[in-house]
């Protein structure tokens, strides 16, 4: 599915989020707070839009995604980035390879969520961190209602105009509706062995940023 939307993926994102995706990416990067000398895995990186900002700030970043189509578009745009084609549930990296792992709008797509979160922990060094940006559940009932109307009625129509694959964007609104809320995702992080789990809402909870750290011992497995 992602191979089919790759070419117009970033333009479609900008239109469907009304440019908010740029603010969400900036907030995610601030939460990762990577310092020069650190190595960051940007998982489900798509075309590498988020990864490019890390690289431009002098951070060693590895964009990894299992869609060869998304990676091809990313590589054409940024040949300097070390893209890796890989599956989030079986990452092609050694244990403790990264200081931080981040995943933006990709965890929802990994079928085995807990398996993916455990695999992210395996490749994060002890004491390292995880930052997840993902669509979530606005706690304010009125905002939540407006957001549902947008997702169910406006987003599919806009996607039909901008995107090359309308079905993929019907899947987007369905998968958002089925995804756990902020506390639910925090619980899944705990189950996968992550600790110091915290979250904060962006755009009134349309997106949530979850942060967690990898305990120093694997005894919590
Ligand atoms: C909505 S896009 C997000 C892309 C990018 N992170 C961004 O913020 O624009 C979701 C991405 O998750 C990738 N993906 C889905 N399942 C995956 C898996 N099991 N392992 C790695 N990537 C996966 C898709 O190929 C797609 O590029």
How many A from CA of 219 to the centre of ligand 1? 30
Q: Whose CA is nearest to atom 8 of ligand 1?
A: 104
Residues with a CB atom less than 6 Å from ligand 1:
2, 44-46, 49-50, 65-67, 70, 87-89, 104-106, 109-110
Cβ atoms of 6 and 73 within 8 Å: the answer is yes
Spell 162-174 as b/e; 16+ CB within 10 A means b: ebebeebbeebbe
Atom of ligand 1 nearest to the CA of 6: 27
Per-residue pLDDT of the chain (221 residues; tens, 9 = 90+): 666 667 777 777 887 888 889 999 999 999 999 999 999 999 999 999 999 999 999 999 999 999 999 999 999 999 999 999 999 999 999 999 999 999 999 999 999 999 999 999 999 999 999 999 999 999 999 999 999 999 888 888 888 887 767 676 667 778 888 899 999 999 999 999 999 999 999 999 999 999 999 997 765 55
Q: What is the pTM of this model?
A: 0.93
Atom of ligand 1 nearest to the CA of 70: 27
How many A from CA of 57 to the centre of ligand 1? 23
How many A from CA of 142 to the centre of ligand 1? 30
Residues 217/129/104/66 CA torsion (nearest 10 deg): -50
Q: Residue 96 has which token pair?
A: 């403790």
């Amino acid at each position: 599915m992602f191979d089919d939307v790759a070419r117009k993926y970033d333009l479609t994102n900008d239109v469907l989020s009304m440019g908010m995706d740029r603010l969400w990416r900036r907030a995610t990067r601030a939460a990762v707070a990577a310092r020069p000398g650190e190595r960051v895995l940007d998982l489900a990186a798509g075309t590498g839009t988020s990864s490019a900002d890390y690289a431009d700030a002098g951070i060693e970043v590895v964009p990894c995604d299992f869609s060869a189509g998304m990676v091809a578009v990313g590589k054409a745009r940024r040949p300097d980035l070390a893209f890796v084609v890989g599956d989030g549930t079986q990452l092609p990296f050694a244990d403790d390879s990264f200081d931080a792992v981040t995943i933006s709008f990709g965890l929802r797509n990994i079928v085995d969520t807990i398996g993916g979160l455990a695999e992210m922990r395996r490749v994060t060094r002890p004491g390292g961190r995880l930052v997840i940006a993902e669509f979530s559940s606005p706690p304010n009932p009125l905002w939540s209602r407006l957001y549902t109307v947008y997702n169910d009625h406006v987003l599919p129509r806009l996607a039909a105009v901008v995107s090359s694959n309308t079905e993929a964007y019907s899947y987007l609104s369905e998968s958002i509706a089925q995804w756990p809320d902020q506390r639910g995702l925090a619980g899944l992080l705990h189950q996968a062995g992550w600790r110091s789990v915290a979250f904060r809402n962006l755009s009134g909870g349309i997106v949530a940023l979850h942060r967690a750290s990898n305990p120093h011992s694997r005894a919590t497995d």
